Amino acid sequence: MTNSGKDYAVRGWLVLAATLVVLVVVSFVPPIEAGAISLRRASVISDLINLDKTADGELLAEEQPEINVEEFEVDLEEVAAQVKQTTAQASPMGEATSASWEGIFEEQPSGGEELVAEGDNAPSLDELPQADFSEILPDESLITRIESFAQGEETPLDRLYDKLLAGKEQVRVAFMGDSFVEGDILTADLRELLQDTFSGGGVGYAPVASPFTGFRQTIKTTSKGWTSYNIMQRKSAPEPYSDDFFVSGWVAKASEGASTRWEMTQKRRHADECRRARLLFICREDAKVSVRLDDGEERTFSFVAGEEVRQIVIESERINSLEMKVLSGAAGFTGIGAEFDDVKGVAVDNLSVRSNNGQAMFWSNAAVNAQINTMRPYDLVVLQYGLNIMQAERHNYSLYAEQVEKMVQYVQSCFPGAAVIVMGVSDRSQKNESGIVPMTAAKDLTRWQRTAAEKCGVAFWDTYSAMQQLGGMSTFVANGWAGKDYTHINYAGGARIARELYYALLKGAEEYCASVHERIERTQPLLTKPIEIEPINKMSVEGVEEVLKVEVEGIQDDAEDDLGGEDDIL
C-alpha cells in the first residue's frame, strides 16, 4: 500500500524548488520596453541577491538608460521653421477657416498688453495692478513657491500675473501631463479655484472621441460613428490622421453621420457656466457640419476642402449642451476636440496622455499646434511628467533632464509667449522590508527637473515638497487621497495638490505686483510740485540785474582808491 501523503509532500517540494529556479532566472532578466510601457526588473529575491553591486560591495554603473532617447528625437530647428511658416500663413478668423454661430466673424485674437511702460507713458501708482490675497493664503512657511529662472525685467510669468490681475482678457492655461492628472484630476480643482478668484467658466478642452471620456466627471461626452486614435499608438493610425495630432493626444476619424454630444455638468463650481464653445477639426473634402445648441436650434456650416485646422465658435448666454454632426465630407475628416469656456476669466485645458513622459508632444503636428494657438493663444503651459520613468534604484536622471529641456523648447516654439512651469515629479512610496517607505528617487528626479528648468530660463514648481508638506504619499493613501499603488492620486488627492499650486500662483502674483509698484515708485519724481523762487523784495528780474550792476561798479571804484590809482600801480 502506497503512502499518498508522502507522495504529495515530495511533489510539493518539487513544485517549490521549480518555482524558486524560475524566480531566480527571472530576477536576472534586465528591464525591457514593451511599446510605450516600461517593464522593470522583477526580483522577489532582491533581499538575498543584490544585482546592483559587485562582489566588493561597490555599486555597479547603471547599464540601462532611464529612457529610450529615440522616442524623444525631434528637430527643433525644423519645428521652429514650420511654426513660423504656419503662423505667417494662418488666417485664424478667415472665412475659409472659421465660422461662428452668428456667421463669419472678423475680430482677431488679442494678446497680453504690457501694463508697465517706461518713460512718459509709465502709469501712475493708482493705475497699477493690485493684489492682496492675505485672506486666502496660508502662512508663508507653508507655501511651496514657484521658482522663476527667467532673466529680464518682464518675463512670460510676469505677463501671466499681469493679465490675471488686470482681468480684462481671458487667460488660457494648458496643463500637459500623464495619467497622474487623467480625467481632469487636479486640473478640475485648479480650474475651479482660479475661476473663483479671477472669474471664468466652463471646463476647457475635451476630445471629440476617446475610450476614456466616461472617466472624466466634469463633462459628459457621447460619441457615435468615430474611430479614435491615441498618440501613444500613433503607428496604428492610418494616414492622414497620423499627422493630425494636437498635443491633446487624440484624433478621431469620421464616418458619414459621425456625431458627438457634450453636456455640461454641475460636478464643479463654474463647470456649467459656459458662454463660448469652439469646435476644432480638419476637413480634406468639402464638408457640411451641423451644430445643435441646447438640444434646440440647429445650424449647418459649409467648408471647402483644405489641410488647415477649422473652427466653429458658438457663443450664448449659457451653453448647456452642444452637438456636432458630420453631414458630408467624412472622408479625410479629422475630429480634434472642443473647448468650453467663458469670454473672459480663466480657462484650463487638461491635455493628459497616459504612459507619457513628455515624448508624445514631439509626435504631435507642430503646424496643428501653432494653428490652434493662433485661434486662442495660451498664456501658461504646465509640464507634469516623469512619474513613469522613476525607479527606486535609479538616482541619475541627467539624460531625462536633457529631454525636459527639449520639451520646453518645443512648447516655446508652438505656443510663443506662454509662460512655462516645469512641475516636479510627485511623491511616491514603495514597499520593502521596513514596510511602506518614500521612494527617495523622487527627490533625485526633482533635482534634475529643476536643473532643466533653470537651464531653459523658465519656472519650476516642486510637487514633491508640496506633497511632503501635506504628509507625503503614505498620508495620501491613509486619508483616501491616493490609490493603494502608492503612486496615483485620486480626485481627493488632486484637490490637495491643486490648492498648493493655486497658493503658489497667488503668491507669485502678489510678489509680482509688489515688484511693479516698487519699480514705478523709483521712477517717480522726488518733488511733486516745482519750487517757486520770488525775486528779491518782489522786484522785477530787470531791477535785480540793475542793482547787481551798480554794486559791482562800486566795488571796482573802491579798489582803485585803495591802490592809489593807475600811476601808483605803475
Tell me which residue has cell 490622421: 241
DSSP string of 11-63?
Answer: HHHHHHHHHHHHHHHHHTSPPEEETTEEEPP--TTTTT--TTB-TTSPBPPP-
Q: Give the span between the Cα atoms of 400 and 65, in whole angstroms.
A: 9
Q: Which residue has the higher pLDDT, 47 or 418?
A: 418
The pLDDT confidence band at residue 562, using thresholds 50, 70 and 90, is: low
Calculate mean pLDDT across residues 215-236.
Answer: 95
Calculate mean pLDDT across residues 217-229.
Answer: 97
Lowest average pLDDT, out of 22-36, 505-519, 549-563, goes to: 22-36
Q: Give the span between the Cα atoms of 146 and 504, in whole angstroms.
A: 6
Lowest average pLDDT, out of 65-74, 117-126, 212-221, 313-322, goes to: 117-126
What pLDDT sits at residue 3? 53
Lowest average pLDDT, out of 97-111, 112-126, 408-422, goes to: 112-126
Instruction: Tell me the CA distances in angstroms from 286 to 119, 253, 306, 310, 326, one per residue in order.
Output: 54, 16, 8, 12, 11
What pLDDT sits at residue 519? 76
Q: How buried is 328 (Cβ within 10 angstroms: 0-12 exposed, 13-18 middle, 19+ buried)?
A: middle
The pLDDT confidence band at residue 59, using thresholds 50, 70 and 90, is: very low
- For the domain 69-105+141-523, what is the CATH superfamily, name and number? SGNH hydrolase (3.40.50.1110)
The pLDDT confidence band at residue 61, using thresholds 50, 70 and 90, is: very low
Of the candidates 89, 69, 78, the residue with the CA atom closest to the CA atom of residue 374: 89
Residue 73 predicted with pLDDT over 70: yes
What pLDDT sits at residue 40? 45
Percent of the chain with pLDDT over 70: 75
Residue 384 predicted with pLDDT over 50: yes
What pLDDT sits at residue 144? 98
DSSP string of 305-361?
Answer: --SS-EEEEEE-S---EEEEEEEE--TTEEEEEEEEE-SSSEEEEEEE-TT-SSGGG
Calculate mean pLDDT across residues 156-185.
Answer: 95
CA atoms within 13 A on the CB side of 505: 28
Residue 48 predicted with pLDDT over 80: no
Tell me which residue has cell 499627422: 243
What pLDDT sits at residue 122? 53
Average pLDDT across the chain, whole number: 84
Q: Which residue has the higher pLDDT, 203 or 98?
A: 203
Residue 233 predicted with pLDDT over 60: yes
For residue 12, give every residue at least 6 positions away whose Cβ sits within 8 Å of its Cβ, in sequence order, or none: none
Q: Which residue has the higher pLDDT, 68 or 14?
A: 68
pLDDT tens digits, 474-495: 999 999 999 999 999 999 999 9
pLDDT tens digits, 240-262: 999 999 999 999 999 999 999 99
pLDDT tens digits, 273-326: 999 999 999 999 999 999 999 999 999 999 999 999 999 999 999 999 999 999
What pLDDT sits at residue 126? 58
Of the candidates 320, 348, 198, 191, the residue with the CA atom closest to the CA atom of residue 264: 320
Task: Tell me the three state secondary structure of residue 395.
Answer: coil
Contact 374, 412 (CB under 8 A): no
Spans of all domains in the chain: 69-105+141-523, 536-569
The pLDDT confidence band at residue 24, using thresholds 50, 70 and 90, is: low
Q: Which residue has the higher pLDDT, 436 or 325?
A: 325
Calculate mean pLDDT across residues 334-354.
Answer: 97
Lowest average pLDDT, out of 58-62, 463-467, 525-529, goes to: 58-62
Q: Give the span between the Cα atoms of 311 and 92, in whole angstroms.
A: 8
pLDDT tens digits, 2-16: 455 555 566 666 666
Of the candidates 26, 30, 52, the residue with the CA atom closest to the CA atom of residue 39: 30
What pLDDT sits at residue 469? 95
What pLDDT sits at residue 39? 44
Other beta carbons within 10 angstroms of residue 179's beta carbon come to: 17
Q: Give the span between the Cα atoms of 312 and 332, in whole angstroms.
A: 18
Residue 177 predicted with pLDDT over 80: yes
The pLDDT confidence band at residue 153, using thresholds 50, 70 and 90, is: confident
Calculate mean pLDDT across residues 180-209.
Answer: 97
Residue 169 predicted with pLDDT over 50: yes
Q: Is the peptide bond before 65 cis (omega within 30 degrees of 0)?
A: no
Residue 105 predicted with pLDDT over 80: no
The pLDDT confidence band at residue 393, using thresholds 50, 70 and 90, is: confident
Residue 569 predicted with pLDDT over 90: no
Q: Give the span between the Cα atoms of 275 and 119, in whole angstroms.
A: 40
